[in-house]
Amino acid sequence: KMEPPCRSNVAIARSSLMLARLPMRPRGRAMSVGVSAAGPSSIDWASQARTLEDESPLMIMDHALSSFEGDIAIAFSGAEDVALIEYAHLTGRPYRVFSLDTGRLNPETYQLFDAVEKHYGIKIEYTFPDAQEVMELVREKGLFSFYEDGHQECCRIRKVKPLRKQLTGLRAWITGQRKDQSPGTRQGVPVVEVDPVFEGLEGGAGSLVKYNPLSNMTSAEVWNFLRVMGVPTNNLHNCGYVSIGCEPCTRPVLPNQLEREGRWWWEDSTSKECGLHSGNIKGGDETSPEDDKAQEDLFKSSAVEHLSKSELESLLDGPRDKDTIVVLYAPWCRFCQAMEESYETVAADLQSNSNVRVAKFQADIERDFAAEKFGLKTFPHVAMLPKANKSVVKFDSERRDVSTLSMFIKAMASSA
């Protein structure tokens, strides 16, 4: 059995290439904001986020721990967010770690909890769901109701409510959220923010601060860090699992899939969140206010053809003069706004191709029609209308970048 490396000599023993990216503590103390007795609301956290945006994860972690001392804790899920614990250890400051034991975790996750406690010499603060609520849910709906009516109810009982209770004893918490985990839903992840959902020790809005030190890291960068530092990891990662949650709701991902496509795979891609970080989720049509519908139109490039309802009906009914890719959108939808540039780029690249039409249809004003003809549930909804037949092929990926959209068109079109 191999013993863990000597932690006191970690800066010498590990790769100088990685540690060069991790400035140690001299600057960290100067950056601390020292939250006063007035509570987190006394600080301009938006300004702090701008200041910290380009700092390393280690510096952000040091800022968090020095600012809140014993009133902050790391939320550890038993996956690659173990990197947070390593960063906290490297600061040399005291730190707390808590985990939500839902009762449905994989055995490998429990094994990692034990390995992490021994590796760092810490005790994880475990929190559990209310036994009565779990019993009532299971007795009424069975053990796997989430496959039929969605995961939100189970997650609310097993994860969100226990988390809410845990956070009422803190003034800040630290999560492993990253922007690249799911470009469709996790783009709004600042490195530090006032938590928009949960309340902290003082109670009320603005009483809890949330740090996301890994926000700007990619999955590859996180894993390089874990390997270099010799950090214990979940054995499920060796079996194709990337994002790891409860056992019934997690599966391995295929090559080139986004990591969170392995979570709640039976649901629409924009629903792949459990509620723990809903304040950072730019959640489709349900969260957009009615008065935003007057917002400026999207996909205004001349390379993107605007389709009226009658024109789209004609394409659906056939015959079709060319292959058509169409985005069903709402101007106020943040997901639609996020893909505007990539979609217009694809349109410009194909402008000289007379065999492919790149089009748009504003579906928020024709929801019933879009739902009936395309199965629209959330925005944006991208589909291909092949020239060869009357089928409608949904673009089902969370990746809406130029390369992925182009590959989809090439795979579906007659001659793209």
Hey, which residues are catalytic here?
333, 336
HEC sequence for 106-155: CHHHHHHHHHHHHHHCCCCEEECCCHHHHHHHHHHHCCCCHHHHCCHHHH
Cα angle for residues 231, 236, 237 (degrees, 5° grid): 60
Cα distances (angstroms) measured from residue 107 to each of 110, 225, 236, 245: 5, 25, 10, 12
Length, in residues, of the chain? 416
Amino acid symbol at 165: K
Tokens of 167: 């956070």
Exposure of 346 by Cβ count < 10 A (0-12 exposed, 13-18 middle, 19+ buried)? Answer: buried
Cα distances (angstroms) measured from residue 331 to each of 311, 365, 378: 20, 10, 13
Q: Where are the beta strands (DSSP E) in 234-391?
A: 305-306, 323-329, 356-362, 381-385
Rounded Cα–Cα distance for residues 392 and 326 (Å) = 10
Neighbours of 292 (CB within 10 A): 12
Q: Are 40 and 200 in contact (CB under 8 A)?
A: yes
Cis peptide before 380 (omega within 30 of 0): yes
Cβ contacts of 64 within 8 Å, gap of 6 or more = 72, 172, 174, 192, 211, 213
Helices 82-91 and 219-229: crossing angle, nearest 10°? 60
Beta strands 323-329 and 125-127, pairing class: unpaired
3-class secondary structure, 305: strand
DSSP per residue, 15-42: -HHHHTTS--GGGHHHH-----TT-GGG
What is the Cα Rg of the chain in Å?
24
